[in-house]
Amino acid sequence: MRVATGLSEADLLKQVADSDGLVVRSETKVTAKVLDAAKKLMVVGRAGVGVDNIDVPAATARGVYVVNAPFGNVWAAAEHALTLSLALLRKVVDADQSVRAGKWTRSAFMGRELRGKTLGLIGIGRVGGLVARRAAAFEMHVIAHDPYATEAGARALGARLVELDELLRDADVISLHTPLTEKTRGMINATTLALMKPTAILVNCSRGEVVDPAALASALEKNELAGAALDVFATEPLPADSPLRSAPRTILTPHIAGSTVEAQTNVSVDVARQIIDVLQGRPARDAVNAPRPPSEEAGGTAWLRLAEGLGSLAAQLLEGRPSSLELVYQGTLLELDPEPLRAAGVKGLLEQFSEQRVNLVNALALAKDRGLAIAERQELEPARYTSLLTLRVGGTEVAGSLVQGEPRIVRIDGFWVDVPIEGHLLLTKHTDKPGLVGRVGTVLGENDVNISSMQVGRRNPRGEALMILTLDDPVPDAVRERIGHYADIVEVRTARLGV
């Protein structure tokens, strides 16, 4: 591990040339040029929330994970929003400066309480939700506007969802907790400020670009707003000519909402764990350019391992390259987000045909580039299992489920089986006749290939059958060809999964 600070771009290019992982803060710019220089790079971690300093599309095109720590400083940010609200209403900063100047004019600093006030949250996600919960301790009424929130989710946080105009008209404290999008850029402008009460205050700990600084400064100068507290700005550091510097009744802090000792520890640990996960071949929990794995309660990464294993097995059983893929989700699997399962299945499939790195970051984009048609279907009632994931590629069909929390292959080309997703496999399609299994076992033993488990599926006695041997060792080509020449064996295949 190397630690370096204050690097020029040229120095950074040298540092990343042989790096597998890279962790940065906000000042380091990870550009396409940097990514091109880092041929071995698998993951870039931002020890914080924002990833504006990382070229995410360039990383995605190269199959490089970009991870952050969206939860590590949310508690700090929520507390800072309330700190700024209290400081504004109680005129703490002005009172402090007055005392330091030798004055004692208590009457000049008559404040207002949070208790009984209406808090309007624009955005009730991670940070906004924490602010809502903490506002309850101040006996505030909480309303929120968030197009992605549900009524039930808002109620659970003690808030009531309203339209934006209603929030702006009714709230005494308006706190911004929204991401920067084309819809939220400049959301707080002359028009929306005009809807607010003249006694209202505005707090912004989200993104500086959400607020029009000139319009806000004008509203404060005209006493159309009681105050504003800002921690973030469109340009940082705040320019000397910013109208906010001279606007009355303002508190300005230098982007420190997430800057606590505890938050810095949290984000560092979160990112380090994800870096380790990626380097050890596991999906990242908070990748900004890859689908999020299912929750641990729903099976977690076991479902991704299964989908990848099914894709890999299907690819190895195929004749030629795939042109299409169908995924079928059955039973309780319908409750999960299909995107990570889709990406994992495609990853397992394409890895068998691609010299390029394939992972959850770029699997779907590579599939599109290669013209792989992906279809999906949902069925409420699975066969035999409460949940079943099926992949169909060409004339091959493989399916799997979680058995006591572990991924298992449970069906191959219509035969019900029970096979782990790791190990060397030998598969034969044959006519079910006495002695065949023994002959295959004998020839493997003669060639020092150890059998760890065996599964035989058949449609009826002495009819069409499928045998799957899980092996500790790969099967030499000559041995596979010898087995294929046995009478009654129609087809023989070998596969390697997760090893």
Q: pLDDT of the chain along its 499 residues, tens only?
A: 777 777 778 888 888 888 999 998 878 889 999 999 999 999 999 987 778 889 999 999 999 999 998 888 899 999 999 999 999 999 999 999 999 999 999 999 999 999 999 999 999 998 999 999 999 999 999 999 999 899 999 999 999 999 999 999 999 999 999 988 889 999 999 999 999 999 999 999 999 999 999 999 999 999 999 999 999 999 999 999 999 999 999 999 999 998 999 998 998 899 999 999 999 988 888 899 998 888 887 888 899 999 999 999 999 998 888 889 999 999 988 888 999 999 999 999 999 888 888 999 999 999 999 999 999 999 887 678 889 999 999 889 999 999 988 999 999 998 999 999 988 999 999 888 888 888 899 999 999 999 988 888 888 888 888 999 999 989 999 999 999 888 888 889 999 998 6
Catalytic residue among 113, 236, 406, 481: 236
Please name which of 144, 140, 257, 249 lies closest in space to residue 201, comparing C-alpha atoms.
Answer: 249
Examine the domain organization and report whether 244 and 313 are in the same domain. Answer: no
Catalytic residue among 90, 255, 392, 480: 255
Euclidean distance between CA atoms 464 and 428, whole angstroms: 11
252 burial level (CB within 10 Å; 0-12, 13-18, 19+): middle
What is the reported pLDDT for 382? 65
**150 is a domain residue:** yes
Q: Which residue has the tokens 């720590």?
A: 69
Residues of the domain holding 18 = 9-71+262-279
**2 is a domain residue:** no
> Is 160 a residue of the active site?
no
What is the reported pLDDT for 78? 97
CB 263 within 8 A of CB 72: yes
Examine the domain organization and report whether 34 and 165 are in the same domain. Answer: no
Give the helix, strand, coil percentages of the chain, each rounded to 5: 35, 25, 40
> Is 236 a residue of the active site?
yes
**372 is a domain residue:** yes
Euclidean distance between CA atoms 236 and 84, whole angstroms: 19
**257 is a domain residue:** no
Q: How many domains does the chain have?
A: 3
pTM given for the model: 0.71
> Is 255 a residue of the active site?
yes
Whichever domain contains 432, its CATH number is 3.30.1330.90
Euclidean distance between CA atoms 412 and 400, whole angstroms: 9
Q: Which pair of tokens denotes residue 74?
A: 């949310």
Examine the domain organization and report whether 483 and 352 are in the same domain. Answer: yes
Catalytic residue among 145, 177, 207, 342: 207
Whichever domain contains 98, its CATH number is 3.40.50.720
CB 34 within 8 A of CB 12: yes
